[in-house]
Amino acid sequence: MQSMTLEQLRATASAGGVVGVTLKGDGGGFFLQIATRSGQDAVLSKARSVQPRRFGNPTSALIVLRGLGIAVAQLDATQWNPDQKDRSQSRENRAQAMRDAHKAAAYTKWLAAEIQESIDDPRPSIPHDEVMAEMGVDIAALPAVKRKRA
């Protein structure tokens, strides 16, 4: 069976080359099987891969089809088992990923502002070797106990 990316499916559908689409259950997800006028069936694949694009929710697959102008599809749930659904993409995990992304974006914004402030500082810059020499003197002045932690 051939694989077909979303862009290829869009082109095939707009050219009238799609005879039918079946939303097939497989384990805990669904994939789209496309029947074409050439007689070769294809599976909707990921953008840069030949692996089938899996949908955890059939509604998501139907939204994709509707966006392509395909309004009629068959459903084959014989191999579908909702107990095998991949929970790694749960709403809770996505929410945590979004929180992490927002924290990272806030940090990046803060860091960029700090860097720009440093660049815009009118005071003369200090050469690296000079700063390191001063740091060496400061570290040597610390008591031995504090030096181990520093």
Same domain for 18 and 32, yes or no, is: yes
Same domain for 65 and 27, yes or no, is: yes
Neighbours of 35 (CB within 10 A): 16
Rounded to whole angstroms, the Cα distance separating 82 from 13 reads 30
For residue 96, the model assigns a pLDDT of 86
CATH number at residue 67: 3.30.720.210
pTM exceeds 0.75: no
pLDDT band at 142 (very low <50, low <70, confident <90, very high): confident
Structural domain including 48 reads: 2-88
Q: What single-letter DSSP state applies at residue 77? A: -
Q: What single-letter DSSP state applies at residue 69? A: T
Same domain for 64 and 101, yes or no, is: no
Q: For 25, phi and psi rounded to 5 degrees?
A: -80, 140
pLDDT band at 28 (very low <50, low <70, confident <90, very high): confident
Asked if residue 144 has pLDDT above 90, the reply is: no
Question: Mind listing the pLDDT tens digit for each residue in 51-60?
Answer: 899 998 899 9
Residues 6+ apart with CB under 8 A from 46: 5, 52, 53
51 three-class SS: coil
**Number of compact structural domains in the chain:** 2
For residue 66, the model assigns a pLDDT of 93
Rg of the chain over all Cα atoms, to the nearest angstrom: 28
Same domain for 29 and 77, yes or no, is: yes
Same domain for 102 and 53, yes or no, is: no
Question: Mind listing the pLDDT tens digit for each residue in 69-120?
Answer: 999 999 999 988 887 766 565 677 778 889 999 999 999 999 999 999 988 9
Same domain for 22 and 64, yes or no, is: yes
Same domain for 96 and 82, yes or no, is: no
